[in-house]
C-alpha cells in the first residue's frame, strides 16, 4: 500500500475578500472628514478672487508704497499681488487671482496686469 501525503487546498477567495476589506479601511483613513489636528474642523474653502486690472490702471505713475499696493490689490479684486521690476524674470504660470505690478528703477508703477 502506497502512502499518499495529504494535499492542502487553500481557497484564495477569503484572502481576496480580506485584502479588499483591509484596503477599504486604509483608504478610509486617508479620506478627509473636515477635521484637522486637534479635532478642530477645517476652515471652509475661500471664494475665488479673480483679478481685474482695468479699475486700477489709474495707479500707473504712483509710488509702490505698501498702502498703495494694498489698495490696488483690493480694488482689482485680486487675492495675490506680485511686484516686479521692468525686465525682471518671473515665472510664466498664469494665476487668475494674481495682479502683477510692474515698476521702474525709481519705484513708480509702469504697468498693472493680471496673471
* Domains of the chain with CATH codes: 54-114 (3.30.10.10)
Average confidence score pLDDT of the chain: 82
Q: Which three cell numbers stand for residue 9?
A: 487546498
* Least confident among 18-27, 67-76, 95-104: 18-27
Which H, E and C letters describe 2-30, residue by residue?
CCCCCCCCCCCHHHHHHHHHHHHHHHHHH
Confidence of residue 65 (pLDDT cuts 50, 70, 90): very high
* Least confident among 7-11, 17-21, 25-29, 38-42: 7-11
Q: In terms of DSSP bridges, do strands 109-114 and 98-103 run parallel, antiparallel, or are they unpaired?
A: antiparallel
- Other residues' Cβ atoms within 10 Å of the Cβ of residue 84: 13
Q: What is the pLDDT of residue 32?
A: 54
Q: Which three cell numbers stand for residue 36?
A: 484637522
Q: What is the pLDDT of residue 54?
A: 98
Cβ atoms of 28 and 76 within 8 Å: the answer is no
Amino acid at each position: 500500500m502506497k502512502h499518499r501525503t495529504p494535499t492542502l487546498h487553500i481557497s484564495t477567495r477569503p484572502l481576496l475578500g480580506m485584502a479588499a476589506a483591509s484596503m477599504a479601511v486604509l483608504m478610509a483613513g486617508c479620506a478627509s472628514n473636515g477635521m484637522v489636528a486637534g479635532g478642530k474642523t477645517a476652515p471652509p474653502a475661500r471664494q475665488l478672487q479673480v483679478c481685474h486690472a482695468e479699475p486700477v490702471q489709474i495707479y500707473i505713475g504712483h509710488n509702490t508704497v505698501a498702502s498703495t499696493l494694498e489698495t490696488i490689490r483690493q480694488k482689482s479684486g485680486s487675492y495675490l499681488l506680485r511686484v516686479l521690476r521692468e525686465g525682471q524674470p518671473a515665472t510664466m504660470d498664469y494665476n487668475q487671482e494674481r495682479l502683477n505690478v510692474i515698476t521702474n528703477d525709481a519705484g513708480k508703477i509702469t504697468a498693472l496686469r493680471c496673471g
